[in-house]
């Protein structure tokens, strides 16, 4: 019996509260991070990812309190991303109780931060978040974007993933910008291309609208884990229902 494929609910956090919205439009308060984390934990989530979307730098440290509170009550792995600029930021998040820290824009602007953080804290703690968008109509080549998807980098997503592995990344969180918010499913060719190109685990993200999409992400996209936000936040499905659907499709899960 092999290693289980993971289901990871993703929570957007701003100013210390969980928010939900569609494409960052109409964000509304969705509640207390600890309560929401516990709910997903009870449903059988394998890990949780927190994305800090706090706009004001004055309130950046609030995420540390959120992580500290969640990590004191929820005993599954926690990943935190958003606003990581230097290795010291990684240290502060880990000390607050995060198990892994995801790095996105900074990895592109200053890849040595990835190397430094992996050396200091171990590859297991370093997740590289890649936001990728197709650059041709065939959906066979993808470019990396930064700054929340606003800036093109000219980097090829598959080559970038390989390079980040060489720099010491322990995992890749791969988001398809073409699919994010569309609810039509993961970009499977992208997911498959990246996952097959690297030896480290790849988390598929962006586009999940139903449970079959999660199944497809694993079976066709070769993802090691699947991340979703809205299908869980708006109560369409529980994590348990998602796992049952994956198991019914022959995927090994932790139930």
Partner 1 sequence: MKIAIVDYGMGNLHSVTKAMELVAEGGAEVVLTADPAVVASADKVVFPGQGAMPDCMRHLEESGLKAEVLKAAEEKPFLGICVGAQLLFEESEEGNTKSLGVFKGRVIRFPQAKMIGAEGQKLKVPHMGWNEMFIVHDHPLWAGIPDGDRFYFVHSYHFAPAEDIAVIESAYPYRFAAAVARDNIFAIQCHPEKSHHAGLQLLKNFVNWNGQV
140 binds partner 1 (CB under 8 A): no
Distance in Å, CB of 177 to partner 1, minimum: 24
- Rounded CA gap, 94 and 121, in Å? 9
Q: Which stretch binds partner 1 (CB under 8 A): 114-122, 155-163, 175-183, 235-243?
A: 114-122
Residue 254 contacts partner 1 per CB under 8 A: yes
Q: How far is CA 255 from the centre of its chain?
A: 21
Q: Are 123 and 169 contacting, i.e. CB atoms less than 8 angstroms apart?
A: yes
What are the backbone dihedrals phi and psi of residue 216, each rounded to the nearest 5 degrees, phi first? -60, -40
How is residue 164 written in tokens?
A: 């980040």
* φ, ψ at 73 (rounded to 5°): -130, -15
CB of 75 to partner 1, least distance (A): 6
What's the 3-state SS for 108-163? HHCCHHHHHHHHHHCHHHEEEEEEEEECCCCCCCEEEEECCCCEEEEEEHHHHHHH
Out of 24, 29, 61, 72, which residue is the one contacting partner 1 (CB under 8 A)? 72
How many residues form the binding site for partner 1 (CB under 8 A)?
A: 40
Part in contact with partner 1 (CB under 8 A); list of ranges 95-103, 108-116, 134-142, 231-239: 95-103
Query: Is residue 2 part of the contact set for partner 1 (CB under 8 A)?
Result: yes
Residues binding partner 1 (CB under 8 A): 1-6, 41, 46, 68, 71-73, 75-77, 94-99, 119-125, 170-171, 196, 198-202, 222, 224-225, 254
């Amino acid at each position: 019996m092999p290693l289980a494929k993971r289901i990871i609910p993703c929570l957007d956090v701003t100013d210390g509260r969980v928010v939900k919205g569609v494409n960052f439009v109409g964000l509304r308060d969705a509640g207390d991070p600890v309560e929401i984390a516990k709910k997903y934990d009870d449903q059988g989530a394998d890990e949780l990812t927190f994305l800090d979307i706090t706009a004001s730098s004055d309130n950046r440290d609030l995420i540390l309190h959120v992580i500290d509170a969640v990590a004191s009550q929820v005993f599954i792995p926690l990943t935190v991303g958003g606003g990581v600029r230097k290795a010291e930021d990684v240290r502060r998040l880990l000390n607050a109780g995060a198990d892994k820290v995801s790095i996105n824009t900074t990895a592109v602007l200053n890849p040595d931060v990835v190397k430094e953080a992996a050396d200091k804290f171990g590859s297991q703690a370093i997740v590289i978040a890649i936001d990728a968008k197709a650059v041709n109509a065939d959906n066979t080549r993808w470019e990396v974007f930064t700054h929340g998807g606003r800036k093109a980098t000219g980097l090829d997503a598959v080559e970038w993933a390989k390079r980040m592995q060489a720099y010491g990344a322990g995992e890749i969180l791969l988001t398809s910008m073409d699919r994010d918010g569309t609810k039509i499913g993961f970009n499977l060719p992208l997911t498959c291309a990246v996952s097959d190109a690297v030896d480290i685990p790849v988390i598929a993200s962006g586009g999940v609208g139903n449970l079959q999409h999660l199944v497809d992400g694993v079976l066709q996209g070769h993802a090691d884990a699947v991340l979703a936000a809205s299908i869980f936040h708006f109560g369409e499905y529980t994590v348990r229902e998602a796992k049952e659907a994956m198991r019914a499709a022959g995927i090994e899960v932790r139930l």
